[in-house]
Amino acid sequence: MTARTIRFHLNGNYVQAEVKPHENLVEMLTQKFNLKGARESCGQGVCGCCTVEVDSQVVSGCLHLATLVDNCHVVTVEGLGKGNDLHPVQQAFIDAGAFQCGFCTPGFIVMVVRLLEEYPNPSDEEIRHHLAGNLCRCSAYPQIVEAVKLAASRIADQTNAAPK
């Protein structure tokens, strides 16, 4: 199988990679860019551990072929913060204790960022519905809902405090 060169934006940086036709997005991110946040767990797109954003849409990285991100914008959990400053969702997960083992946390965080962009003040039902494709084996669900609400509040406070 012939490898192909793809070029895309990864967490704000223009990059390129040689990928094989069957290589999935998670394999490329971990093997070629040493990004370990998105991880393959189920390999069937049902657990959410491999969640990344491609052109403002969340995808299961275990099912998404790497060749499909050619000329796209890809954001992983590692690309959400700015320098040493965590994204408000990342900080809220820490503050609310919304993870135990941490294996599923990166996928949840990427999904919550997208949720809050679409629904800045989600209800508990909207949170649970939106995160239904992400599974936590440690059962940190109450803390995850708390973290989403905390992040929503902090983002709203930042937005209201921003100069107009």
Which residues does 159 contact at the CB level (< 8 Å), separation at least 6?
Answer: none
Provide the number of structural domains found in the chain: 2
The CATH number that applies at residue 57 is 3.10.20.30
- For residues 101 and 146, membership in a common domain is answered with yes
Number of helices (H), then strands (E), belonging to the chain: the values are 5, 5
- For residues 98 and 156, membership in a common domain is answered with yes
Burial of 116 (0-12, 13-18, 19+ CB in 10 A): buried
- For residues 71 and 133, membership in a common domain is answered with no
Alpha-carbon distance of 157 to 56, in angstroms, equals: 23
- For residues 12 and 63, membership in a common domain is answered with yes
Residue whose C-alpha is closest to residue 50's, from 1, 121, 111: 111
Domain of residue 59, residue span = 4-79
**pLDDT tens for the 164 residues of the chain, in order:** 799 999 999 999 999 999 999 999 999 999 999 999 999 988 888 899 999 999 999 999 999 999 999 999 999 999 999 888 999 999 999 999 998 888 899 999 999 999 999 999 999 999 999 999 998 888 788 999 999 999 999 999 888 877 76
Neighbours of 76 (CB within 10 A): 23
The CATH number that applies at residue 123 is 1.10.150.120
Q: Whole-prediction pTM value? A: 0.92
Predicted local distance difference test score (pLDDT) of residue 164 = 65
- For residues 94 and 51, membership in a common domain is answered with no
